[in-house]
Amino acid sequence: MKRLVYRAFLGGAFSLAVVVIGLFFWGRSRPEIKASHAKNERPGSIAHLPGGYTYYESHGAQDAPVVVLVHGSLYYSVIWEKNIPALVDAGYRVIAFDQYGRGFSSRPDTTYTFDLFVEQTESLLAYLDITDPVHMVGLSLGGPIVISFANRNPDLIQSISLLAPVTPSTEKRSFFEVVTGFLNRAYCTFSHRDFERQRAEQLAPLKEKMRRQFHYRGVEKAFASAITNRDRDKVGEIYAEAEKLHHPVLLLWGTLDRVLPIENHLSVLETFESVQYIPLEETGHTLNYEQYEQINRALISFFSHNE
């Protein structure tokens, strides 16, 4: 057993060294991203916000109820491409955007914290003049971002939907587990391996689109910041503060999630007084892409019952 643990440690350390060194040299060879790149490569718009410019998409009628989609750490707004059309067809205005350091938004030379992403979300909604309560949806790391946004802006929240969110249970893992798990996901992206091997064919189109954000310099700094500054205590604080919220919550989680195990759902159930929990069989971490039809039905039903 000790030998297996030792080998696992060496393997993880080697992967860490390879990825960090590779990111350093590879990152220096690419151009810096500019707003013009987003306009050339993506169909959305650019908002110039206090923290930097933000790529966003707004779909649906301007006067329709608003749904805001918040992606996770290794993703950008393209992760929602199988969800947006169904939500628009159901009568919603859908806002999806790239967080700082991801996708085609600016990559400021700063520390990437939950507060930074919450402030970006607040600024974007103000820029779009959205003042009525919205349905917030957070995937993975987007989960605590959405919850933190709700803590700061409870009057702007109609409902909260969490898709395999980061929880305090996640932060109880050792630093080594967190780092190697994160780097394993990054390596899968860089090396053309799939996010989750058993779904290679299904996720292949998404994988190719996800890699486009790495064509420009700066994303590696955002990832490095996420590794070294995970706000380890902040996640617990966000969830503890959320106990005072009384908004309806939808929780969706894949039973085969290898990134954030489904057992972590208990943290969410313990935090909120009203949670509709739906486990998805044979589904991994990219659940909104793998099981998009089921996810879309669940979201639309939940929204319609909480207008």
Backbone torsions φ then ψ of 133, nearest 5 degrees: -60, 145
Taking only the tens place, the pLDDT of each residue in 85-113 is 999 999 999 999 999 999 999 999 888 89
Q: Which of 38, 32, 65 is nearest to 54 (CA)?
A: 38
pLDDT band at 210 (very low <50, low <70, confident <90, very high): confident
Taking only the tens place, the pLDDT of each residue in 238-276 is 999 999 999 999 999 999 998 899 999 999 999 999 999
State the average pLDDT over residues 163-185: 63
What's the pTM? 0.83
**What pLDDT does 66 receive?**
99
**What pLDDT does 220 receive?**
73
189 pLDDT exceeds 70?
no
Angle at 181 between CA 175 and CA 186, to 5 degrees: 125
Percent of the chain with pLDDT over 90: 58
H-helix or E-strand spanning residue 278: strand 275-280
State the average pLDDT over residues 142-153: 97
State the average pLDDT over residues 126-140: 98
Taking only the tens place, the pLDDT of each residue in 272-304 is 999 999 999 999 999 999 999 999 999 999 999
pLDDT band at 227 (very low <50, low <70, confident <90, very high): low
Count of CB atoms situated within 10 Å of the CB of 2 = 6
Whether residue 15 contacts residue 180, with contact meaning beta carbons closer than 8 Å, is answered with yes
Count of CB atoms situated within 10 Å of the CB of 307 = 9
